[in-house]
């Protein structure tokens, strides 16, 4: 599928084991991109995974804890979590993000 129209992709809770992230995923051979939303106060509990991840804030604000390094991110900002680095995300306000992970053993966000 060379063209992806996120508005036509079925929404899902993409990591219900760790997070309330809700939205659409586009999965390739080695990368997966999610257009995801968090409501204020929601997010991802402290966790880690073997995937490298970059999350870009499209709208809203996130509070991010990257293994004790804490920052608040708004539109146009991102965080980069290296593999197996513990991290936690909390939406300060309703937020939309693009979350990118590499695919390992046919898995990206879904774990």
Which pTM does this prediction carry?
0.94
pLDDT value of residue 1:
59
Say if 107 falls within a structural domain.
Answer: no
Say if 83 falls within a structural domain.
Answer: yes
* pLDDT tens sequence across 1-23: 589 999 999 999 998 888 999 99
- Report the CATH number at residue 30: 2.60.120.10
* pLDDT tens sequence across 24-69: 999 999 999 999 999 999 999 999 999 999 999 999 999 999 999 9
Domain count, the chain: 1
The parent domain of residue 26 ranges over: 10-102
Which segments of the chain are extended strands (E)? 12-13, 22-27, 31-38, 43-47, 53-59, 62-66, 69-73, 78-81, 87-91, 95-102
């Amino acid at each position: 599928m060379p063209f992806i129209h996120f508005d036509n992709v079925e929404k899902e809770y993409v990591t219900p084991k760790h997070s309330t992230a809700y939205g659409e995923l586009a999965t390739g051979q080695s990368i997966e991109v999610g257009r995801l939303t968090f409501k204020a106060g929601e997010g991802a509990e402290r966790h880690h995974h073997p995937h490298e991840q970059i999350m870009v804030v499209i709208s809203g604000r996130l509070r991010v804890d990257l293994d004790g390094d804490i920052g608040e991110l708004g539109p146009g900002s991102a965080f980069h979590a290296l593999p197996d680095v513990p991290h936690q995300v909390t939406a300060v306000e309703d937020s939309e993000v693009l979350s990118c992970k590499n695919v390992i053993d046919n898995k990206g966000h879904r774990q």
